[in-house]
Amino acid sequence: MSVPISSPATKSAAPGTIPPLFGLVLAGGRSTRMGRDKATLPYGDGTPQLERAVALLGRHAARVYVSVRRDQAADPLRARFAQIQDIHENIGPIAGLLAAQAQHPQSAWLVLACDLPLLDDASLAHLVSRRDAARTATAYRSSHDGLPEPLCAIYEPRSRESLSAWIGAGKECPRKFLSSADTALLDEPNPRALDNINTPTEYGAVTSAQTKRITVQYYALLREQAGRRDEALTTTAATPRELYAELAGRYPFSLAAEVLRVAINSEFGDWSAPLKDGDAVVFIPPVAGG
Amino acid sequence: MSVFRFSHTPVETRALNAQLADPACGGYASFEGWVRDSNEGQHVRHLEYEAFEALAVREGERIIAEAIARFGVAHAACVHRVGDLKVGELAVWVGVSAPHRDEAFRACRYIIDEVKQRVPIWKKEHYASGDSGWVNCERCAAPDPGAEAAGAHAHHDRR
């Protein structure tokens, strides 16, 4: 990370120091349009989106909290994480941020909605590396409408006062808040990263794009341990590395991925290359010809 | 015939030599790998070779092309056995013909070294004790750290 993290602020930050960056996943929504709790929706390898978002934030923030409504605190998924409960009701996502700022007023908050399954580590890293702590906030400019994206953005401690005033004036919209505030705006490196998924149709489109049919052939020790020469399977694994991890959960493979090579469509391939529908994959144990 | 191929039956080397004959060549070098009766202190009864043939042939052909380009030899070829082999049987044959002996020897050595290291072929040894094991695989098993930390993994070592 390129942003220096000072010690967790319990007293006023000294002039010139950059406030520490904490992470907040907003999981207090009502998922009305989805008809199911968006925090629990599985993506990729089947991990609930809330867990994925917490893990992603954890790579960029000194601490990560989950923002919940009071009546959600005991929810089994949400209860696994450090929580901050809303103080205000019915004011939308700003409620979560205000509660977090009340608890840690000297920290900046990297706020993340929990319906952004396409958000990638690089996009988050870019936001953090371009953070301008001298401004009120740092945010992406939407690739769709050019407006600030408020739910994947960094709010500096100085934003607390103006956010309170914004709510006090009866306004709720965090996007309009960022537009009116002194916000550093960045272009998105990945224009789909901030596509939020609100409806069952959108969810189906994302997950079916993540699902592919793959054939796997097994040789030598892996053939014996899998108990088969080949199989056709449906997977959400994005890369050969993820696919091997998935298969290693199903079969008693003794070989770590580090000692294997991978072939895709009968040519040596890259462990982190994206898998495509219809790919034929072979994991190659250490060879012993001659 | 491909310059790199697999044979599921015993290999007759005389026919293979003939395909490398060339009036411009005064040197011919070959290497034969035979099934040995012991490995690392264990008595070997017989061997099983298995290959991912689609990729192995591509990689093998690349090795032959590299040897020809690198050493300037006229012709080169390699045949590798798959299936069950008894002690003494020929497991791999490499042949190279060239105007002079030096480049033929060097190309031959290059081919066998690269084949052992890069081509997806696996060897299972069956021991007199009744045990068996996939060479280079058993000792890099994941749950046994420390056993073979810097082990003899054919992918990584340049032996």
A216, A282 in Cβ contact below 8 A?
Answer: yes
Show the tokens assigned to B111. Answer: 């081919």
Does the beta-carbon distance from B122 to A285 stay under 8 Å?
yes
B25: contact with A, CB 8 A cutoff: no
Which has more confidence, A189 or B5?
B5
Does the beta-carbon distance from A288 to B123 stay under 8 Å?
yes
pLDDT tens, position by position, B33-67: 999 999 989 999 999 999 999 999 999 999 999 99
- Nearest CA distance, A69 vs chain B (angstrom): 44
A87: contact with B, CB 8 A cutoff: no
A237, A275 in Cβ contact below 8 A?
Answer: yes
Q: Rounded to an integer, what distance in angstroms lies between the CA atom of residue B98 and that of residue B93?
A: 17
A28, A40 in Cβ contact below 8 A?
Answer: no
- A280 alpha-carbon distance from chain centroid: 29
The confidence score (pLDDT) of residue A21 equals: 98
Contacts 24+ apart (CB under 8 A), A83-87: A84/A24, A86/A28
pLDDT tens, position by position, B115-159: 999 999 999 999 999 999 999 988 765 444 333 333 333 343 333
B5, B79 in Cβ contact below 8 A?
Answer: yes
Tokens 């092309």 found at: B65
DSSP calls for A51-70: HHHHHHHHTTSSSEEEEE-G
DSSP annotation of B93: E
Q: Rounded to an integer, what distance in angstroms lies between the CA atom of residue A192 and that of residue B45?
A: 59
Measured CA distances, B125 to A290, B85, B129 (Å):
13, 10, 11
Show the tokens assigned to B89. Answer: 């049987």
Please enumerate in sequence order all residues whose Cβ is within 8 A of that of A68, keeping only pairs 6 or more positions apart, or say none: A27, A28, A75, A78, A83, A84, A85, A86
Please enumerate in sequence order all residues whose Cβ is within 8 A of that of B7, keeping only pairs 6 or more positions apart, or say none: B79, B80, B81, B82
Interface of B with A in 110-149 (CB under 8 A): 112, 115-124, 134-138, 140-143
Show pLDDT as tens, one digit a residue, over chain A (290 residues). Answer: 344 444 444 444 455 689 999 999 999 988 989 999 999 999 877 889 999 999 999 999 999 999 999 999 999 999 999 999 999 888 889 999 999 999 999 999 999 999 999 999 999 999 999 999 999 999 999 988 999 999 999 999 999 999 999 999 999 999 999 999 999 999 998 888 999 999 999 998 888 878 899 999 999 999 999 999 999 999 988 899 999 999 999 999 999 999 999 999 999 999 999 999 999 999 999 999 99
A112, A24 in Cβ contact below 8 A?
Answer: yes
B77, B4 in Cβ contact below 8 A?
Answer: yes
Q: Rounded to an integer, what distance in angstroms lies between the CA atom of residue A121 and that of residue A37?
A: 24
In a 13 Å sphere around the CA of A109, the CA atoms on its Cβ side amount to: 29
Query: Cβ–Cβ contacts within 10 Å for residue A48, how many?
Result: 18
Among partner residues B49, B92, B155, which is closest to A259 by beta-carbon distance?
B155
Among partner residues B58, B141, B154, which is closest to A287 by beta-carbon distance?
B154
Does the beta-carbon distance from B137 to A286 stay under 8 Å?
yes
Nearest chain A residue (CA) to B132: A221
Does the beta-carbon distance from B137 to A268 stay under 8 Å?
no
Q: Rounded to an integer, what distance in angstroms lies between the CA atom of residue B62 and that of residue A119?
A: 41
Q: Rounded to an integer, what distance in angstroms lies between the CA atom of residue B29 and that of residue A267?
A: 30
Nearest CA-CA partner of A172 in A90, A103, A87, A85: A90
Nearest chain A residue (CA) to B54: A266
Backbone angles phi, psi at A59, to 5 degrees: -80, -10
